[in-house]
Chain A
Amino acid sequence: MATRRQGPAPRLIFGDLWEFDPAPETADPKLQARYDLFIGGRFVRPRSGKTFASVNPATEAKLAEIALAGPAEVDAAYQAAAKAFRPWAALPGRERGKYLFRIARLLQDRAREFAVAETLDGGKPIKESRDFDVPMAAAHFFYHAGWADKLEYVAPGRAVAPLGVVGQVIPWNFPLLMLAWKLAPALAMGNCVVLKPAETTSITALKLAGLLQDAGLPPGVVNFVTGAGETGALVMGHPAAAKVAFTGSTEVGKAIMRQLAGTDRRMTMELGGKAANIIFDDAPLDQAVEGIVNAIFFNQGHVCCAGSRLLVQEGVAGRVVAKLKARMRMLRVGDPLDKNTDLGAINSKGQLATIKRLVAAGVREGAELYQPPGALPPRGYFYPPTLLTGVTQSHRVAREEIFGPVLSVLTFRTVDEAIEKANNTAYGLSAGVWTDKGSRILRLSTELKAGVVWANTFNRFDPSSPFGGYKESGFGREGGRQGLLDYAYLA
């Protein structure tokens, strides 16, 4: 009788055994060499004539020149929006809704083109822009389209009315999706919008401007002004704004709140996070490991609600970390346009430097670094998936938002300790819980101070599900009935 081999079977590591053939997405993103501002339904050049470059972070090649909006252009955008507001708000809800349905459908029609453009401009893997960003953006338009003729149901017992012109500033991690989160509820409610995309990722917004023209959206209802922080401050600070909505870092959010102190301006703030992802010893560990990977490496960790603090129950910590390391070796870092790529490019040179700086601080403070073997592409801004073990609560990598593919691992023994550690942060955007016990999930969701709690899943989003933070992660919600209410007066 043959003797059975002792020990576990050798682990199959894909990348070690064979190379993947490249599988690039080849759809035409239909980019222009230059993009102008979108004001009053037309593309206009800024008075200054100034532009800035949008760069493909995977190749460092310039993709397009983007117009830089100064005070005159931001003002013109607000004037166009103010002019459009009365007739837009006066439209019957069902007619406003039809515009949003059109936008949703036109975006679905051109989904692949937008996905490629998003990946080129922002660096995210094509499988994410294709399967998540663009379809989810269309879904947000579709969902909110259906609210436009049902506004009397949004706040039972109260009449709702639009606010007026809304100023919105969005980040670079989900350019088109954040734009949809901002535009769709504002428009459904009858507001007009002046929106500034992030300076590294303006292209899909300006492509969408053309789509809005195709949809026949009345001029001035939506205006896009592009630029960096100064343009953003102009949009947030403009006196004609009835409300401002910001998604970005807590630091900038605080600056906007200071800027607007004394104006009684309405605000929505969707800011940073440092989510705890809590793994209990009864959790299905293989599933949990997939969840951990998704929680921190989705979109290179450029996710405000990323599960960047892994809290593992002590008894299974060794096994979880070992499984995680093995899983990380299978992650493919590289060309964002390759359909097999798991981690694309870091969005910008500046962000790459931030990530490197914080990881170095973590190592200096005593954390142990693990990065799977494998070469990064020679050009472009890339960073490998990174695990920091032996992290304590006082480490910077456990407190500060890294906004990159870097996971800090901490351990706990009891449920109470897990809750205490999870809540020991200035942030409160999201949290994850992995356990087989339903009652424990509900206790955690009751006690975690976070706006979204994912149980045995992570990074799930839906237009019908309100998203937003506690504490320094901001206030206001996006999605669902609650999100609509943030764009309404209650009479």
Chain B
Amino acid sequence: MKRLPVTKTPKVYIGGAFVRSESARTFPVADASGAFFANMPQCTRKDLRNAVEAAAKAGPGWAKRTPYNRAQILYRLAEMIEARSGELVESLVRFGAHAPDAARGLAVTVDRLIHYAGWADKYEQLLGSVNPVASPHFNFSVTEPMGVVGIIAPDDPPLLGLLSMVAPVIASGNTVVALASETVPYPAILLGEMLATSDLPGGVVNLLTGFRRELVPTFATHAHLRALYAVAGPDDRRALRLGAAASVKRVRFAEGGRADWFADSAQGLDAIRDFVELKTTWHPIGS
């Protein structure tokens, strides 16, 4: 008799735990052939608020880690993903990616994580400064993480897009609540499982699956989200900007199409700069 495979119940990774939506809602996802694959958690604004709470709790501890430690943890995550790249590539192919393209995307994803691992203990040396003020003061500017950042990832590429947005934000000590690809959410479920086995503390990255139209308004207006990083169309952009105005949130939109995520130009210091505050300190120089 042929053995019946055991199917997995996808759960989202929030606060270091794997949970279903508090609403108990799910939405079915089919693979590229149209066959039923699994029911995904259809996260609600309450799930989003729970995730923000988890991210806020994890924030101070994560921000206090030394940059070197954050760098090593991001590198460790890259190690975990590289080691399980077969599973991730398979999940991308299952939902329609061409195999070579999926493999390349995964390589870029790992390299991008390593790129930001390298930034974790370097960006301060480029974004901060010592300022030659015209008085006997030692005057310096240093960056600080903003806090909890909301991320709305592109539908495609589902994994590379998501991690390209998450990595620069957490590299500086922010914590994240991210909405994964709506069309191909499963790689984000797998990513959650890898995050859980990396050294990243629970709550630093929280991943939601669900529908943009249901969650964008809450991303826009949740006052504890200090910044938003989103891939969004014109209507969502306006909604996010409007909501952001209420609590003076920082907003960054990722531009470009699918292919742009693969390019080196999709990574760099700018994405880190947009999610840090700058603090200037004055101190007298005297006897």
Contact = CB atoms under 8 A, between A and B. Distances in A.
B75 interface: yes
A480 interface: yes
Number of contact residues on B: which range applies?
20 to 34
A439 B283 contact: yes
Nearest to B267: A149
Most buried by B among A139, A146, A464: A146
B3 to A, nearest CB: 39
Given A142-B71, A464-B121, A481-B125, A97 B285 contact: no
Contacts of A442: 138, 283-286
Given A143-B68, A150-B122, A443 B114 contact: no
Number of contact residues on A: which range applies?
20 to 34
Interface in A437-488: 438-440, 442-443, 446, 463-464, 480-481
Given A97-B118, A149-B115, A442-B138, A464 B286 contact: no
A442 B125 CA distance: 20
Nearest to B117: A146
Contacts of A146: 71, 114, 117-122
A446 B68 contact: no
B118 A464 contact: no
Interface string A68-102: 00000000000000000000000000100110010
B97 to A, nearest CB: 23
Contacts of A117: none
Contact of A480 (B67, B72, B115, B125): B125
Contacts of B7: none
Interface string A366-380: 000000000000000
Most buried by A among B71, B75, B115, B285: B285
Contacts of A142: 68, 71-72, 75
Contacts of A480: 125
A439 B287 contact: yes
B227 to A, nearest CB: 23
B246 to A, nearest CB: 36
Given A146-B117, A464-B67, 4 more contacts: A139-B68, A153-B269, A442-B138, A463-B121
Interface of B: 67-68, 71-72, 75, 111, 114-115, 117-122, 125-126, 138, 269, 283-287
Interface of A: 94, 97-98, 101, 139, 142-143, 145-150, 153, 415, 438-440, 442-443, 446, 463-464, 480-481
